[in-house]
Structure 1
């Protein structure tokens, strides 16, 4: 069944509009294909640029015709709305591809006059499509794909300034490479001259000639007039001037082509007729003005590319080399004969080097510190460096570098005017890294203290918590932070105010972290104290003789200590005493006495909690074991008098005597041994008996084993079984 006769007859305007849209769609698809092949194909694909120009005018006219048709019938028709939106998307796609081809072609054919004609025509086509945006409906975003970052920004007309900006972005990478090549030669020659090597002026001029050998005869003839001036110019400045001249000369084909093909783009004041040939060309004054603008944009961008070339391809990322280069470039920038246009590039290069020193160098040192810390996870891995550890050395060197950089950003005389000149922006990332490094160092020391204490690796424990932390605090003590809060007022700029407030906040955080780092040595000793008790009880569980051993009865008095005593002291106390020999005397005495007290207290707690009974011989043996501790201290570790006179040794002796005392025995308040010294006429302090150092004496008396009673069977109601 045919229903066409029931449909209304379409307006001729709608039919014409749809026909033009379909034709334009086919032309756009063909143009997109050719432009895409030029972008993603081989270099010879740009030979199709001439073929593209043939249908470019037709495509542009159709775009203008379709976009400018605002008749009522077309505007209200659904089919026309669909085609209008479709053509709008095609226009954006063609514009995007055209812009990419223009950018790529300018980098390839900047000095090819034939190809530049086609590039300029493509630029005219792009501007024509861009102008249609103001007359078409634009109710949605202009982004075709959200994966295309360049489309997130609105497109601009490709005026002369925009074209120069595009060329500057293209040429910045190459110019940065040439600038670094020249600087490398200059610095090498400077170092040779300072080392009394033969003069290298010839090599400098050879580099200069290599840069200028491709210039046209016209440019060479112009330079002949300046031979006298160039002879008086230093070789390094002549090389840089040659680079500027060579780069400016590359724009000559573009200016000549634009003056002939698209004079309207330059304007009437930039064009004049040549007297010799009669054709149109750009005036000398206008050319100088345009070249000056191009050089300003170009060398403002070169610093970023030159930084990458210098750091990552030429000298490496080591901080010392970057620091030497920054100093040398600063000295070169102060040369009065240096072209003024190059100073922004050199200053950008210096800023990049300084920022690199504070970021990448810190990253490198921080990574080395973290890798070194990973090798301390075993008791048997030696990570020592002098009195400390290699990890601690990495942290102290990092603190030294950061403190030096931070102090270099401080001023001597603080005034409101001086705040504008201080490098507050450069100091803020330094303080960020300093704060993070102190925090990381503290966490590393605290975590390593717990780990090493549980492993009872006393050598590494005291190296980390005492020596490494002290070395880091010594480097941090060299930091100087001037107080500038009083100088921040309404007369300061917003930038200075924000940077000053941020700096003050970071300084307060740095000082707070330093105070927390200072508390690490004392906190680590508390950790050691808690671990010592657990470690001592665990060793006693394995070493201490069984209860039957202490219930033995012999007529002989024990002369020697039990075997477990030496093992116990060697396992617990000896590593501590040996590890603290290099520390200061107050710390050494405090730690040694603390560990001795805790291990003796654990010794007594183990006896009491297990309710071990002692016969008279067992009590004498225990007393001999306690008495062997001072002897071991004097013979094995050469203990100090403070360690030998600790109260815990007296308490242990008191426990042994309590176990030997008879029921009802009264303990004298003065030690009987004092009378011996007094009878001999020697002065001796009055000491309490050892039993008085023991708290809860009655509880210890319960641990005395009952004596054997041979009549116990007769007196008891037990039944005797004969064998």
Structure 2
């Protein structure tokens, strides 16, 4: 029996009926979309009720057919029917029509969204526009009707499981995301945006804020005749009396006007919520009629947040005399005055708005102030000092830099202002809760601080190279100890909260990276300064020792002039290198470092040149090492505390150890407890007190190499002693006898060598003949 399925034609009535309905739905979607676009654009509202009802019916039909197509009976066929070419053709046609209808439905959603935004902006001008906007809002929310999960208990899916929208316009990227329900905040934002920009509630706030800054009539009248009767209480008529009475009356009138202004807005929000709940209840979610009072407070906060967005543009750019045209000190004073407002004196919605405006002004001041000060650092070297001081006087928040450079003073002003502006984002001293901090607002200012630290490090590095190359220590330590130290000291008051938020957020990751880089840049600044000083100090020390260190023959002499006990080169090197550092700084760590570098360069010079020393030469070198301590003790610029630490520096013990090693023979073994007999004993108690149980030789790491620098004894060295008479002068007879003795000895050595050579040659010949 054959198991091959047979093809047969099914009942065509059900598929054809479904295809006819889907085709008609596509035509209706296209027609209703065109009518919405045309009727809204030409302002034809006579048929809007019929149009919206028809649109609602089409949306319901779309979702009804969508549910029917998800039916298992429609999609599942038997195995034999699945293999039929007729069913394959039907399913392909079905998918094509369904995809086309989904795209047209997405276009309808796009048109409804754009129409809704347009109508909400004009909704406060006409009640008809308001009703139609709310009805379209209800239709739009029906367009994202949740799909019923048939595998579960019939509950609707969550919003993140909704059907994704198709792309119908490259100019509307929001369609790439799932549908989002239009809520109360979105409706109020679109409806109130035109009110903020046309009726200028923000301008009224600006006028209230500036009443006590100018005299009557100096400010611009921003309100119209229609709104003039509502603000007659703001007109301040001059009355005789004290200044305190005038000030209190002005504050009372301002408070009265603010309360009246807030009451009007509260009534507007309440009426708007009641109308919206009757026409479009879906914008409130699952809220009931008893919970609508919460939306009144939410609406007030939203409205005032939108006011704050417009207010900063009005203050900075839109008025006749924008404050952006004034100096930054003027803008900064307004910003500080806004931060000084007390929450108990200003109602909560207005207080939050003022704080938001203050933060925007903070960003404006930080951008412009950083730009001006940063450009000033580039010209301070050639600019007029009076102009620089005059500009810096307007930013007197930075600490005084009385001993630093002009460029360093500008760097300090940059850091001081940037850190103060960054700290203004934290309204309290408790910065542990990072969830309350505006991370996005911190990133631009952290960028500028990071860039400033980086540029400061480059400037310090280049200046250090130039000044250390000329060995201008006074100028170098001006930058290092005053400019750089004051800049880095400002970071002690820099508020950086603990990052306890989710690090998957891109803003938080950027903030963490900026703070990490900022710490690295701060640490590199001082490290590079010290490293440049160390490298150039060692190079200059080697150069000075190359010029003034005595030649090799000097250290191999058998005796030295007793009248000249000190070497001139030691004091010369210390005067050229170490004395400018002592005059420029009192930092004991830097002084110890430079002393160590000079002595190590001294030892490296001796070791690289492989200078060999006689016994007296080694004693002479040991005395030169001791002269360093004597030079330090005789320097009047060193304090007693510094003198104590420098005179007992470990590098001096190492130099002394090198001198003692040179007094030994190359084959000697250095013992920890034993010292050579040539050691110079110091009789005073201070020298004995500094001696420890560990000998100075133990401070030298490469003892064996230093032992090789001891000059070896030669047989020719007795010539000067054997050729002298009893008075110590050379005699011709003695010298001739010595020459004759050397000549005879040479002849005997030659004859002995020749005899040995001949004997070996004769023996080799005899052995060769014997073998033959």
What range describes the TM-score normalised by the shorter chain of this pair?
A: 0.5 to 0.7
- Range that drifts further, 704-713 or 82-91: 704-713
CA separation of 1:605/1:307 partners in 2, compared to 1, >3 Å: closer, same or farther?
Answer: same
- Out of 177, 183, 188, the position equivalent to 1:165 is 188
The answer as to whether partners of 2:204 and 2:223 remain within 8 angstroms in 1 is no
The answer as to whether partners of 1:307 and 1:353 remain within 8 angstroms in 2 is no
CA separation of 1:356/1:142 partners in 2, compared to 1, >3 Å: closer, same or farther?
Answer: farther
- Out of 215, 220, 223, the position equivalent to 1:211 is 223
Aligned to 2:105: 91
CA distance in 1, matches of 2:438, 2:182: 40
Aligned to 1:102: 116
Deviation at 1:305, TM superposition (A): 1.5
SS at match of 2:125: coil
The answer as to whether partners of 1:60 and 1:129 remain within 8 angstroms in 2 is no
Q: Does 1:702 align with 2:717?
A: no
Deviation at 1:99, TM superposition (A): 1.8
The answer as to whether partners of 1:543 and 1:564 remain within 8 angstroms in 2 is yes
The answer as to whether partners of 1:368 and 1:394 remain within 8 angstroms in 2 is no
Aligned to 1:602: 601
- Out of 284, 296, 313, the position equivalent to 1:309 is 313
Q: Does 1:184 align with 2:206?
A: yes
Aligned to 1:68: 64
CA separation of 1:405/1:659 partners in 2, compared to 1, >3 Å: closer, same or farther?
Answer: same
Deviation at 1:94, TM superposition (A): 0.7
CA distance in 2, matches of 1:407, 1:244: 28
Residues 2-13 of structure 1: matches in 2 within 5 Å?
8=9, 11-12=12-13
Residue deviations 1:565-597 (CA, integer Å, cap 9, x gap) = 7874466324422331xx3xxx35x64455335
Q: Does 1:714 align with 2:743?
A: yes
Residue deviations 1:659-708 (CA, integer Å, cap 9, x gap) = 999xxx9748556xx8xxxxxxxxx76869xxx98898976652899757
CA separation of 1:21/1:213 partners in 2, compared to 1, >3 Å: closer, same or farther?
Answer: farther
Residue deviations 1:623-682 (CA, integer Å, cap 9, x gap) = 998899799989999667849967888998999999999xxx9748556xx8xxxxxxxx
The answer as to whether partners of 1:654 and 1:693 remain within 8 angstroms in 2 is yes
- Out of 403, 406, 426, the position equivalent to 1:387 is 403
Deviation at 1:102, TM superposition (A): 1.4
Q: Does 1:397 align with 2:398?
A: no
CA separation of 1:150/1:228 partners in 2, compared to 1, >3 Å: closer, same or farther?
Answer: same
The answer as to whether partners of 2:633 and 2:647 remain within 8 angstroms in 1 is no
The answer as to whether partners of 2:162 and 2:178 remain within 8 angstroms in 1 is no
Looking at CA atoms only, which structure, 1 or 2, has the larger radius of gyration? 2
Deviation at 1:100, TM superposition (A): 1.9
Q: What TM-score, normalized by structure 1, do the two folds share?
A: 0.55
CA separation of 1:524/1:102 partners in 2, compared to 1, >3 Å: closer, same or farther?
Answer: closer
CA distance in 2, matches of 1:163, 1:521: 53
CA distance in 2, matches of 1:557, 1:319: 74
SS at match of 2:581: helix
* Higher relative contact order (CA closer than 8 Å, sequence separation 6+): 1
Residue deviations 1:150-193 (CA, integer Å, cap 9, x gap) = 774644478xx678525445347538x9344334333333123x
CA distance in 2, matches of 1:428, 1:120: 34
CA distance in 1, matches of 2:583, 2:104: 83
Residue deviations 1:14-34 (CA, integer Å, cap 9, x gap) = 445433433442443455567
Residues 135-284 of structure 1: matches in 2 within 5 Å?
141-145=162-166, 148-149=173-174, 152=177, 154-156=179-181, 164-168=187-191, 170-171=193-194, 174=197, 178-192=200-214, 199-200=215-216, 202=217, 207=221, 210-214=222-226, 236-237=254-255, 240=258, 265=279
Residues 321-720 of structure 1: matches in 2 within 5 Å?
321=331, 324-325=334-335, 327-328=337-338, 331=341, 334-335=344-345, 343-350=348-355, 353=358, 386-388=402-404, 389-390=408-409, 393=412, 397=416, 401=420, 409-410=428-429, 452=464, 458=473, 462-463=477-478, 466-467=481-482, 471=486, 532-533=537-538, 536-537=541-542, 540=545, 547=552, 568-569=573-574, 572-580=577-585, 583=586, 587-588=587-588, 591-592=590-591, 595-613=594-612, 642=643, 667=678, 670=681, 702=711, 711=738, 714=743, 717=746
Deviation at 1:387, TM superposition (A): 3.3
CA distance in 2, matches of 1:716, 1:459: 67
Query: Which runs of 5 or more structure 1 residues have no equivalent in the other structure?
Result: 1-5, 39-43, 193-198, 268-285, 377-383, 412-418, 482-493, 496-505, 675-683
CA separation of 1:46/1:401 partners in 2, compared to 1, >3 Å: closer, same or farther?
Answer: same
Query: Which runs of 5 or more structure 2 residues have no equivalent in the other structure?
Result: 1-6, 77-89, 238-248, 282-289, 381-399, 502-511, 665-675, 689-694, 721-734, 751-772
CA separation of 1:522/1:346 partners in 2, compared to 1, >3 Å: closer, same or farther?
Answer: closer
SS at match of 1:211: coil
The answer as to whether partners of 1:626 and 1:652 remain within 8 angstroms in 2 is yes
Q: How many matched pairs?
A: 596
Deviation at 1:98, TM superposition (A): 0.7
CA separation of 1:13/1:244 partners in 2, compared to 1, >3 Å: closer, same or farther?
Answer: farther
The answer as to whether partners of 2:542 and 2:602 remain within 8 angstroms in 1 is yes
The answer as to whether partners of 1:550 and 1:615 remain within 8 angstroms in 2 is yes
Aligned to 2:761: none
Deviation at 1:143, TM superposition (A): 1.9
Q: What TM-score, normalized by structure 2, do the two folds share?
A: 0.52
CA distance in 2, matches of 1:142, 1:75: 19
CA distance in 2, matches of 1:110, 1:597: 82
SS at match of 2:213: helix
The answer as to whether partners of 1:172 and 1:302 remain within 8 angstroms in 2 is no
Aligned to 2:125: 111
Aligned to 1:22: 23
CA separation of 1:624/1:300 partners in 2, compared to 1, >3 Å: closer, same or farther?
Answer: same
The answer as to whether partners of 1:109 and 1:116 remain within 8 angstroms in 2 is yes
CA distance in 2, matches of 1:181, 1:609: 80
The answer as to whether partners of 1:619 and 1:660 remain within 8 angstroms in 2 is yes
Residue deviations 1:449-506 (CA, integer Å, cap 9, x gap) = 999589667557645665567647876778999xxxxxxxxxxxx99xxxxxxxxxx9
The answer as to whether partners of 1:299 and 1:345 remain within 8 angstroms in 2 is no
CA distance in 2, matches of 1:166, 1:408: 27
The answer as to whether partners of 1:387 and 1:463 remain within 8 angstroms in 2 is yes
CA separation of 1:8/1:541 partners in 2, compared to 1, >3 Å: closer, same or farther?
Answer: farther
SS at match of 1:189: coil
CA distance in 2, matches of 1:33, 1:704: 115
CA separation of 1:715/1:49 partners in 2, compared to 1, >3 Å: closer, same or farther?
Answer: farther
- Range that drifts further, 88-97 or 551-560: 551-560
Aligned to 2:285: none
